[in-house]
Amino acid sequence: MNLILFYVFAAVLVLAALGVIAVKNSVHAALLLVLCFFTTSALWLLMQAEFLAIALVLVYVGAVMVLFLFVVMMLDIKVEPLREGFIRFLPVGVLVAAVMLAEMLMLIGVRSMQIAPPADPAGHSNTAWLGEALFTRFLLPFEIAAVILTVAVIAAVMLTLRKRVGIKSQNPSKQVAVKASERVRIVKMPSAVRDVAAKSEATP
Amino acid sequence: MNVFEPLRNYILGYGDIGLVVWLVICILCVAVPVILAVAFYVWWERKVLGWMHVRIGPNSVGPAGLAQTFADVFKLLFKEYLLPARSSKLLFVLAPLIALVPAFAGWAVVPFDQRVVLSDANAGLLYVLAMTSMGVYGIIIAGWASNSKYAMLGAMRSAAQVVSYEIAAGMALVGVLICAGSLNMSDIVRAQAGAHGLLSWFWLPLLPLFVIYFVSGVAETNRLPFDMAEGESEIVAGFHVEYSGAPFAVFFLTEYANMILISFLASVLFLGGWLSPFPQRWPILGVAGWWWLFAKAFFFAFMYLWFRAAFPRYRYDQIMRLGWKVFIPIALVWIGMAGVMVYFGWFGLGGAQ
């Protein structure tokens, strides 16, 4: 049963990945990439790496790809100019592909030489295990990664936060703090209503 | 569940096919009541809004207008549905289904009672978060595939809004999982059991996170006062402006199923799920059971309608400001507070410990 499911998901994954680079419409490509992430997470679930699988859906499908789509849908990309350099860039592409293939083969070789992953002694779920490992053995790398990400976030905000002239922006706390006396001026006027009423009564 | 044990054993006796059949039966046992609940929730919404506006609300079809929703659904199903000429046909048809799937998938890990849950997954909380974050795809795809300006604007608004509020909701959930010490939904409920009834639930120590979670839930389901995706007064109906007939009904169903799901999640995570609000030692009132969960979920579902009737709509920049500049900082501070509370043992740490 597991094997059948694995092959089904793997086939979908490969087809979707091919589709990402083959389809003409960039929005369709982005959606196929979403499908890729989703089937990958299904494969990981089959291997009982539930935390990684759900984190992949949560981070990549739920957030990153939404923003990706957001941008891709806004752009009106012409396909023709993008295809022009295909032959010119082919050698570079082949080189990168070859290096990646070699790396993957090496990784598989290293993995197969190792013994099977250690059985979990305490019977924890792998989420709890991952959490313990991250916050004890790998605390320093974890913290460093967190700092780097925070710096990246602040930098991204600072880059887009530029003052431009001629833009009207609102200051909500100023808006809330406003008093009626600053906006409306009550003008005292001699009442003229009674005169009009008296006249209109008088005319007939 | 012992009543169903012989049936389960009989079906599982057929091997793999039996397993699939049994799973389908279990899923239908949750999905069909959800669909019915949506139908009655729509009726209840119209009634409540009617009363709040000093009107009567639906009262003609069936007793007290109860069959009104069913009549509406049949009307929608028999209507012609149109495909815009220059739309992206496949995606246009797929979009309502893509929206529908996460709304129902989330129910898999909601615990209705002790051991009454479809999947008692270890990473249940993360799973729920992942499913609710996928709901936005249906909206984005619908907006883009329609090839219409209004639909596109609605989709863009919705994407930005849902991603923003997901962060706030996720941070609120971090507080819950710090206090419960587990990602399993049933464990989270068990961690809230205590001698003081409703005072030992998470809503009290995590009050800011509780408020943030529910308001973010309202924003994530695109309900009033955060209904930027639809925005009837400015972009007609937003992402589903081109939809008619049955696909429109599916969008409608999705929205209400999501609202009910958020109501259940808020009750499970912050209001002690199936636990009784009264101390356990009280004779009848202290007994825990699914009816408490349903009562709590009903309370939240009613809050949705109350918000709709009571609050004017937010402006778009106000929505973004509320999410990023108010909710996220408060949630971050209170996550720290939750850590301190757990560290000093201010409230009983149940679940994993």
Q: What is the ipTM of this complex?
A: 0.77
**The two three-digit tokens of residue A117, written as one number:** 């992953």
Instruction: Please say whether the beta carbons of A79 and A24 come within 8 A.
Output: yes
pLDDT band per the 50, 70, 90 thresholds, residue A179? confident
Q: CA dist A87 to A21, A92, A98, Å? A: 16, 10, 17
Quote the pLDDT of residue A150.
92
Per-residue pLDDT band for A148 (boundaries 50, 70, 90) equals very high
Q: Do residues A37 and A57 make contact, with C-beta atoms less than 8 angstroms apart?
A: yes
Distance in angstroms (rounded) separating the CA atoms of residues B210 and B175: 9
The radius of gyration of chain B's CA atoms, rounded to the nearest angstrom, is: 21
Question: What's the average model confidence in pLDDT over A155-181?
Answer: 82
Q: Which residues of B touch A55 (CB under 8 A)?
A: 126
> Which CATH code is given to the segment(s) A1-78?
1.20.120.1200
Which residues of chain B lie closer than 8 angstroms to A66, CB-CB? 136-137, 140, 159, 162-163
Q: Distance between CA B135 and CA B96 in Å, rounded? A: 10
Least confident of A55-69, B33-47, B96-110, B252-266: A55-69
| Cβ-defined contact of A62 to B122 (cutoff 8 Å) | no
In the prediction, which pLDDT does A184 show?
86
pLDDT in tens, B16-71: 788 888 888 888 888 899 999 999 999 999 999 999 989 888 888 888 888 888 88
Average pLDDT over residues A138-166: 88
Torsion sign over Cα B277, B280, B286, B290: positive
Which of A1-5, A93-97, A121-125 has the least mean pLDDT? A121-125
Q: Which of A71, A127, A129 is the best mutation test for B, with the most CBs of B within 10 A?
A: A127
Q: Which residues of A touch B166 (CB under 8 A)?
A: 62-63
Taking contacts as CB-CB distances below 8 angstroms, the residues of chain A near B149 are none
Q: How far apart are CA B265 and CA B121, in angstroms?
A: 15
Residue A117: pLDDT band by 50, 70, 90 thresholds? low
Closest partner CB to A27 (pick from B144, B159, B352): B144
The answer, yes or no, to whether the previous bond of B205 is cis (omega within 30 of 0) is: no
Model confidence over B170-219: pLDDT tens digits? 899 988 888 888 888 888 888 888 777 777 788 888 889 999 999 999 98
Question: What's the pLDDT score for residue B4?
Answer: 73
Out of B130, B140, B159, the one facing A58 most closely (by C-beta) is B130
pLDDT band for position B225 (cuts 50, 70, 90): confident
**Of residues A25, A50, A66, nearest to B136 (C-beta):** A66
How many angstroms separate the CA atoms of B242 and B146, rounded? 6
CA neighbor of B351 nearest in space, from B188, B196, B211: B188
Q: Where residue B2 falls among pLDDT bands split at 50, 70, 90?
A: low
Would you state the pLDDT for residue B352? 38
- CA dihedral over B274, B21, B4, B253, signed as positive or negative: positive
DSSP states of A88-102: HHHHHHHHHHHHHHH
Range scoring the smallest mean pLDDT among A107-111, A117-121, B86-90, B282-286: A117-121
